[in-house]
Structure 1
Amino acid sequence: MASSYTWFYWAILSAIFAALTAIFAKVGISNVNSDVATLIRTAIIFVILSVYIWLTRQWQNPLTLKASTWIFLGLSGLATGASWVCYFRALQIGEASKVAPVDKFSLVLVAIFATIFLGERPAPKDWLGIALVASGVLVLAFKR
Structure 2
Amino acid sequence: MWFVFAVGSSVFAALTSILAKMGIEGVNSNLATAVRTTVVLAMAWGMVFLTGTQGGIGQISRRSWLFLILSGLATGASWLCYYKALQLGPASKVVPIDKLSVVISLVLAALLLHEQVTPRSALGCGLIAAGTLLMVM
For the aligned pair, the TM-score class normalised by the smaller chain equals over 0.9
Q: 1:56 to 1:63 in 2, by over 3 A?
A: closer
Q: 1:99 aligned to 94, 101, 112, which one?
A: 94
Summarize deviations over 1:16-42 as a string: whole Å, max 9, x none: 000000000001100210000000000
Summarize deviations over 1:115-135 as a string: whole Å, max 9, x none: 000000121011111100011
Which AA in structure 2 matches 1:130? C
- The alignment covers a number of residue pairs equal to 137
Note if 1:28 corresponds to 2:19: no
In the alignment, the residues of structure 2 paired with residue 137 and residue 109 of structure 1 have an alpha-carbon distance, to the nearest angstrom, of: 13
Compare 56-65 and 88-97 and name the one that shifted more: 56-65
1:98, CA displacement in angstroms? 0.8
Compare 70-79 and 60-69 and name the one that shifted more: 60-69
List alignment gaps of at least 5 residues for structure 2.
Answer: none
Summarize deviations over 1:41-86 as a string: whole Å, max 9, x none: 0001111111121111121343432110110001100000000000
The residue that corresponds to 1:45 in the other structure is 40
Note if 1:88 corresponds to 2:63: no
Which AA in structure 1 matches 2:134? V
TM superposition score normalised by structure 1? 0.91
The residue that corresponds to 1:66 in the other structure is 61
Note if 1:7 corresponds to 2:2: yes
| RMSD after superposition | 1.0
Structure 1 runs (4+) greater than 4 angstroms displaced = none
In the alignment, the residues of structure 2 paired with residue 24 and residue 134 of structure 1 have an alpha-carbon distance, to the nearest angstrom, of: 25
Q: 1:112 aligned to 94, 100, 107, which one?
A: 107
TM superposition score normalised by structure 2? 0.96
